Structure 1
Amino acid sequence: KPLPLSPRTRTPEPSPSLPPQSPNTRLDPEGSPAMEAFGGFFVDEKAARVENIFLEFLKRFKEPDAAEPFYDVEMEAMRSRESTTMYVDFAHVMRFNDVLQKAISEEYLRFEPYLRNACKRFVMEHRAGENRAPIISDDSPNKDINIAFYNIPMLKRLRELGTAEIGKLTAVTGVVTRTSEVRPELLQGTFKCLDCGNVVKNVDQQFKYTEPIICVNATCQNRSRWALLRQDSKFTDWQRVRMQETSKEMPAGSLPRSLDVILRHEIVEKARAGDT
């Protein structure tokens, strides 16, 4: 069930907008900064700016009359419940910086890894003090911090979803009719070449089991002989949930529409059949 927007609407202190583009930054046909190559790697400059502004939001946003930044308190709540998910009120983002909220809502799929990295930087800058356990300990520096937005203002019905929503941050309404068992999912794999022994790290999985295209060793041309190093790979839990339109949302004489939703990380096993 969607949560109501915060009743407090007083504007916080002025926040930075996205920095101006460098005169050397190329633009794509849509008018956004293009990705530029440095040393063989592509850098998404706009995404990097969004990450930095979002980090400033986490550090600076305060509720009216609050003594300390809101997400300092949220981080302490994460520590107390031993969570790795930071819950962010999207109404706060809208009040902090309109350009930032538009970038997140319109191109969430593009920026989501950068937003998670901003959350991790925020947590790493606030290391544990006395009698406080760290959220990311020194023996697990590769541990990820996940992000979950709530209070997203525009709710859509299932039959209103179309291609225009691909890649956007969207909230939908419906009733849960079925849940699957929880299963492991490989997110990033570390592979060992069985020909030369070279190790390739952080291979993103493209919605299926994905191995490196070719060995990075210049003298090795292996493309198919790989061994997954499980201890050095990243896994998470996932669960499939089926949502269905409620009777109030269905036009007269229509059959209910349904949608399968994939849940990951700490929100698995949170939904039950009958939940709305």
Structure 2
Amino acid sequence: SEDGYLPAPFLLGSAVAARTQRLALSLILILPFYETVRLAEDMAVLDILSAGRASYILALGYRPEEFEHFGVPIKKRGRVCDEKLALLRRLLAGETVVEDGRRITVTPRPLTPGGPAMMWGGGTVAAAKRAGRYGLGMLGNANAPGMQEAYEEACREHGHTPGPTMFPDRNTPSVVFVADDVDQAWKEIGDHLLHDVRTYAAWNPGDETTAGFSHVNTVDELRETGTSHVIISVPEAISRVKAGQVLNLSPLCGGLPPEIAWTYLKRVGEVVLPQALG
């Protein structure tokens, strides 16, 4: 993609961890593209640097171009992930693992016993089963029938206590901006939101189940649907936070310039949250 997606989450995560003390860090990783031992080492080091504030959402991946680039057969991605997850969990737990005749131990050990918190991301029952099989939390990008049940059953079957889960409904917004003037905000950032929508629609043709997806062609259509990408007022944002709803902020959505993005992000941190949380 030419849209400036972050290519080095561990580098940025380490920088953020060094400049903050309380901020939680969540890194999204497409697991098939990472060498497992190096991944475990990076996770362990960032766990120490962040004092346990870094957590992870691991995912299967779906873009053929990316699999071709990394030399991973896309049809084997499920098996590849299973192999990597099994090894990753053991290494982060402090085990010495013999792999292809080599003894592997990850040092230093992570600060968090057993390793940092991890969730599996996906939108199918198979994804829920994989999360349960390896004792991960489950972050669904859809709420397909049976996902929660499949997750809990897989956890029990493999001796794990079910962890946190989130299964959003189809119309759950994936991108939320908070504005003083909603009409003006749509004029300012609407084209960026539409670009994001159309990009993901092109990458996922025919997807009618994933939360936060829209199949629209104009900014007006996107605003009218009021589902995947929304701009809400400050009072509405405060009301949603008070009600326990999640505001999925994506300040750089669609390549939005940072100087514009900061205004929207600071509005949430400096106005919405203080009033909503008292």
Structure number having the greater helix percentage = 2
Greater C-alpha radius of gyration: 1
- In the superposition, the TM-score normalised over structure 1's length comes to 0.30
